[in-house]
């Protein structure tokens, strides 16, 4: 090509761009001009073969043309886009007040919902929420809690030990080691709550999981009494099962009035006296089902006055300080509140289950 060919090529190019009435046509024009075999591309390529005296001039002008054509195409494209949007807006059959598509949003897990509710209740009672490691050592998980190696209570804590065994590290079998950690690091008097995942090497069925959730509470003060503990537990459980149930499950409308509580003496090495607190099973209303193992009652929490050896292990002077503690099976409570009859749903990760908690 020569300098003489430029004007007609230029004219054809800009005419074609302006003539494109929609984006698809414009795309074709773009290919015809700037594509591998496009006319403008051809022009730029031909510079090398142009007569020597024209070459510099042709090179300069063909590059300028290429730039101008590229810009013209971009400008035309955004003009066509704007026009298309304007046309849609002007279209009377298009209702801009229609609600849009709701983006898929995640939901809070039922365990989180109930945990947050419980944290709210006890924070109002003066408790601080603390977080402790899931990988524990044998001393915090057992020894300091008055459970030496040969203690029969270890049988019920089927433990996941970490390798190598000599390091004495394990996945905590309960949240109680938090008691020791809290007492070691906090100046009494104090009230603390430590929720978390716990792990036991258990056969999995409708009411047992190898990974489940507990919430531990600890109250350290002078002149601590069982009466004080019972009162705190009654207030706490009453509150958990009033508001949340009505909000979350209007269909079943379980209310605090339906919740019955019974206390039995219970043995835990780290409390003395120790109690087991049972709640009437909200799933079957006390008539017996899979979750309550047909008894009508569900073990809800263990509690008691913290054993003096435990206080001592954590470095507290037992002449001055006493404490009560409780450990609650969060998973069980969630199941009762939402009418979930199989604990495996909780950690199963099935979206059909999780989406019901929107
Ligand atoms: N750690 C106990 C368990 O996992 C639960 C428990 C019982 C915690 C009594 C306590 C307590 O704080 O006082 O079975």
* Ligand 1 center–CA 49 separation, angstroms: 90
Regarding the beta carbon of 196 and ligand 1, being less than 6 Å apart is answered no
Structure-block tokens of residue 159 = 């433990």
CA dist 221 and 323 (Å) reads 6
* Ligand 1 center–CA 260 separation, angstroms: 21
> What is the structure's pLDDT at 258?
60
Mutational test site, ligand 1, from 191, 200, 217, 268, max ligand atoms within 8 Å of CB: 268
pLDDT at 15 over 90: yes
Q: Specify the ligand 1 atom closest to the Cα of 175.
A: 1
The overall pTM is greater than 0.85: no
Residue with the larger pLDDT of the pair 291 and 46:
46
* Ligand 1 center–CA 263 separation, angstroms: 14
pLDDT digit string, tens, across residues 164-205: 999 999 999 999 999 999 999 999 999 999 999 999 998 999
> What is the structure's pLDDT at 71?
96
301 falls in which pLDDT band (50, 70, 90)? very high
Mutational test site, ligand 1, from 326, 329, 330, 333, max ligand atoms within 8 Å of CB: 326
Contact 287, 279 (CB under 8 A): no
253 falls in which pLDDT band (50, 70, 90)? very low
Query: How many CB atoms sit inside 10 A of residue 201's CB?
Result: 12
Supply the mean pLDDT for the chain.
89
pLDDT at 310 over 90: yes
> What is the structure's pLDDT at 102?
85
Three-state DSSP at 303 gives strand
> What is the structure's pLDDT at 231?
87
Q: What is the mean pLDDT of residues 135-139?
A: 97
Structure-block tokens of residue 226 = 């069982």
> What is the structure's pLDDT at 263?
86
Query: How many CB atoms sit inside 10 A of residue 137's CB?
Result: 17
pLDDT at 22 over 60: yes
Where is average pLDDT lowest: 149-153, 214-218, 243-247, 306-310?
A: 243-247
Structure-block tokens of residue 108 = 């809070």
CA dist 230 and 222 (Å) reads 17
> What is the structure's pLDDT at 244?
44
250 falls in which pLDDT band (50, 70, 90)? very low
* Ligand 1 center–CA 237 separation, angstroms: 16
State which H helix or E strand residue 56 sits in.
helix 52-90
Nearest-CA residue for ligand 1 atom 8 is 327
CA dist 34 and 229 (Å) reads 82
Regarding the beta carbon of 326 and ligand 1, being less than 6 Å apart is answered yes
* Ligand 1 center–CA 330 separation, angstroms: 12
Structure-block tokens of residue 294 = 């047909």
pLDDT at 251 over 70: no
Q: What is the DSSP letter of 168?
A: -
CA distances from 147 to 100, 151, 154, 270 (A): 60, 6, 7, 8
Mutational test site, ligand 1, from 130, 174, 306, max ligand atoms within 8 Å of CB: 174
> What is the structure's pLDDT at 305?
97
Regarding the beta carbon of 212 and ligand 1, being less than 6 Å apart is answered no
Where is average pLDDT lowest: 119-123, 207-211, 286-290, 352-356?
A: 286-290
Nearest-CA residue for ligand 1 atom 3 is 174
> What is the structure's pLDDT at 247?
52
CA distances from 12 to 26, 45, 166 (A): 14, 18, 84
pLDDT at 243 over 70: no
* Ligand 1 center–CA 162 separation, angstroms: 23
């Amino acid at each position: 090509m020569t300098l003489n060919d430029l004007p007609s090529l230029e004219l054809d190019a800009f005419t074609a761009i302006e003539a494109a009435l929609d984006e698809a046509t414009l795309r074709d024009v773009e290919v015809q001009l700037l594509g591998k075999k496009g006319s403008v591309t051809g022009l730029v390529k031909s510079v090398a073969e142009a007569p020597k005296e024209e070459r510099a001039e042709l090179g300069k002008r063909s590059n300028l043309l290429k730039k101008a054509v590229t810009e013209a195409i971009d400008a035309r494209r955004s003009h066509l886009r704007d026009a298309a949007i304007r046309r849609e807006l002007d279209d009377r059959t298009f209702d801009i007040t229609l609600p849009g598509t709701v983006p898929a949003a995640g939901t809070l897990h039922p365990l989180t919902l109930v945990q947050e509710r419980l944290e709210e209740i006890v924070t109002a009672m003066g408790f601080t929420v603390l977080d402790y490691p899931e990988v524990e050592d044998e001393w915090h998980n057992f020894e300091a809690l008055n459970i030496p190696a040969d203690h029969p209570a270890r049988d019920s804590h089927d433990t996941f030990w970490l390798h190598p065994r000599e390091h004495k590290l394990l996945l905590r079998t309960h949240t109680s080691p938090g008691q020791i950690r809290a007492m070691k690091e906090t100046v009494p008097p104090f009230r603390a709550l430590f929720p978390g995942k716990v792990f036991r090497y258990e056969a999995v069925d409708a009411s047992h999981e190898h990974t489940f959730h507990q919430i531990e509470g600890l109250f350290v003060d002078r002149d601590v009494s069982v009466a004080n503990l019972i009162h705190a537990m009654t207030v706490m459980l009453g509150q958990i099962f009033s508001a949340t149930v009505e909000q979350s499950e209007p269909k079943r409308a379980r209310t605090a009035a339906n919740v019955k509580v019974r206390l039995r003496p219970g043995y835990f090495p780290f409390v003395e006296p120790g109690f087991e607190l049972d709640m009437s099973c909200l799933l079957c209303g006390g008539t017996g089902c899979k979750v309550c193992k047909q008894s009508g009652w569900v073990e809800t929490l263990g509690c008691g006055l913290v054993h003096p050896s435990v206080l001592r292990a954590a470095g507290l002077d037992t002449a001055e300080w006493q404490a009560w503690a409780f450990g609650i099976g969060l998973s069980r409570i969630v199941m009762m509140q939402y009418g979930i009859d199989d604990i495996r749903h909780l950690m199963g990760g099935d979206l059909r289950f999780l989406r019901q908690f929107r």
